[in-house]
Amino acid sequence: MPAWDISPSGVDSVTSLVGLAMDDVAKDVKAYGEDVRSAASSAGTISAGYCGAAPVGPVGAALALFVERTAGDVLFLSARASKSVNGAIEATNFYVAGDLEQAENAQEQAAKAPDMKAILAAALKKSADK
């Protein structure tokens, strides 16, 4: 069992700062998505005139492919940060309550990578529901 020397107020302070940083990242990711859509539609195509929906040119297609292939990485960053913060809070609460075994278990669970299959499935479902 690890040696414990935790400052609950220090944990609260750090997790609050991480939460604020996570909020900023979420805003940046949303802006990134909007900027990519704008860039893709502004990049133009090599086709002459068109009827109906604007065609997607090679730059727009490349941007869409890039976003599609990096979406999992972006979701992982958020999931990893969230799991770490929640695990630190949970472990600290067990520590304060004097349950060092549960604190250790919470710490071990927080250190495991998030289940990205479940996270991606939830994100796809949420996107489809919109």
Q: Does the reported pTM lie above 0.75?
A: no
- With beta carbons less than 8 A apart as the criterion, state whether 37 and 66 touch: no
Q: What is the pLDDT of residues 69-93, one digit of tens each?
A: 888 888 888 899 999 999 999 999 9
The yes-or-no verdict on residue 45 having pLDDT over 80 is no
- With beta carbons less than 8 A apart as the criterion, state whether 85 and 18 touch: yes
Q: What is the mean pLDDT of the chain?
A: 85
Q: What is the pLDDT of residues 85-127, one digit of tens each?
A: 999 999 999 999 999 999 999 999 999 999 988 888 887 888 7
Cα–Cα distance list, 58 to 40, 49, 63, 112 (Å): 9, 16, 9, 39
